Amino acid sequence: MSTDNLPGVPEEPVARHGMFGVTGTGDTSGYGRLVVRRPPKPGTARPYGGYFDELADALEQAAGEAFGAMVERVVVDRGELTLHVAREHLTDVMSHLRDDAALRFELSLGVSGVHYPEETGAELRAVYHLCSITHNRRVRVEVSCPDADPHVPSTVSIYPTHDWHERETYDFFGIVFDGHPALTRIEMPDDWDGHPQRKDYPLGGIPVEYRGATIPAPDQRRSYA
């Protein structure tokens, strides 16, 4: 879709147009004129504001000299703090966040996946949402891995509730959580081909397990344009 009919919308840094990457006549979402821009890559400079600086200082003190290698960048956006962590240091960071007295993120709200096919070398992301009941604080931890090597350390030993969450993220995105006690599919059948929430997964034209029904391919559906 061209941006000629969208005044004031620059071509850069536009990531894509429309919804779900659908092109042609198959966009039945009603979001054909949606413009998605690439997220900013640079981290946020200090001061972060609020309790975010105290949190970062406490984590840096707990991690010591390894902090620079553990945390690749820090992003503050829309009043939320995200720590982008190197995957080889994920379990160390999560342990510090849970156990250090100045941090005490005792509760994990879950693990989710994200797929950025345009981010070469970091196409897949695992995202962890942590809550400190002790200090009434929240933080997001994000770790990336390449599509060619979709491995991330399991954090089930730190947050046992991640058992099913990591299975779901593996099922839908194909991220392999090394060290998980039983990493199998949890929603899709065991022999299912592919990972349905990836952006390169086909939107239709695949058989479904309901009386032999099929989902039409995107270019064969109705268009509301």
User: Rounded distance, CA 141 to CA 127, Å?
Assistant: 6
Residue 2's pLDDT is 42
Tell whether 53 and 137 lie within a shared domain. Answer: yes
Tell whether 29 and 3 lie within a shared domain. Answer: yes
DSSP per residue, 1-29: --STTSTT--STTEEEESSTT--TT---S
Let me know if residue 203 belongs to a domain.
no
Tell whether 18 and 76 lie within a shared domain. Answer: no
Tell whether 8 and 103 lie within a shared domain. Answer: no
What is the 8-class DSSP label of residue 114?
E
Let me know if residue 63 belongs to a domain.
yes
Tell whether 81 and 7 lie within a shared domain. Answer: no
Tell whether 158 and 76 lie within a shared domain. Answer: yes
Tell whether 96 and 2 lie within a shared domain. Answer: no
Tell whether 167 and 177 lie within a shared domain. Answer: yes
Q: How many separate helices (H) and strands (E) can be counted in the chain? A: 4, 9
Q: What is the pLDDT along the chain (225 residues), one digit of tens a residue?
A: 344 444 444 455 666 666 655 555 555 555 566 676 665 567 899 999 999 999 999 999 999 999 999 999 999 988 999 999 999 999 999 999 999 999 999 999 999 999 998 888 999 999 999 999 999 999 999 999 999 999 999 999 999 999 999 999 999 999 999 999 999 999 998 888 899 999 888 776 666 666 666 667 766 666 555
Determine contact, residues 216/204, Cβ cutoff 8 Å: yes
Residue 205's pLDDT is 66
Which CATH number characterizes residue 186's domain? 3.30.460.80
Report the SS3 class of residue 34: coil
Let me know if residue 215 belongs to a domain.
no
Tell whether 54 and 140 lie within a shared domain. Answer: yes
Tell whether 30 and 104 lie within a shared domain. Answer: no
Backbone angles phi, psi at 169, to 5 degrees: -65, -40
Let me know if residue 205 belongs to a domain.
no
Residue 76's pLDDT is 94
Tell whether 94 and 146 lie within a shared domain. Answer: yes
Tell whether 61 and 168 lie within a shared domain. Answer: yes
Tokens describing residue 185: 């599919």
Residue 5's pLDDT is 44
Residue 111's pLDDT is 97
User: Rounded distance, CA 173 to CA 88, Å?
Assistant: 20
Let me know if residue 199 belongs to a domain.
no
Residue 203's pLDDT is 73
Let me know if residue 185 belongs to a domain.
yes
User: Rounded distance, CA 149 to CA 113, Å?
Assistant: 15
Let me know if residue 188 belongs to a domain.
yes
Domain span at 156: 40-192
Domain count within the chain: 2
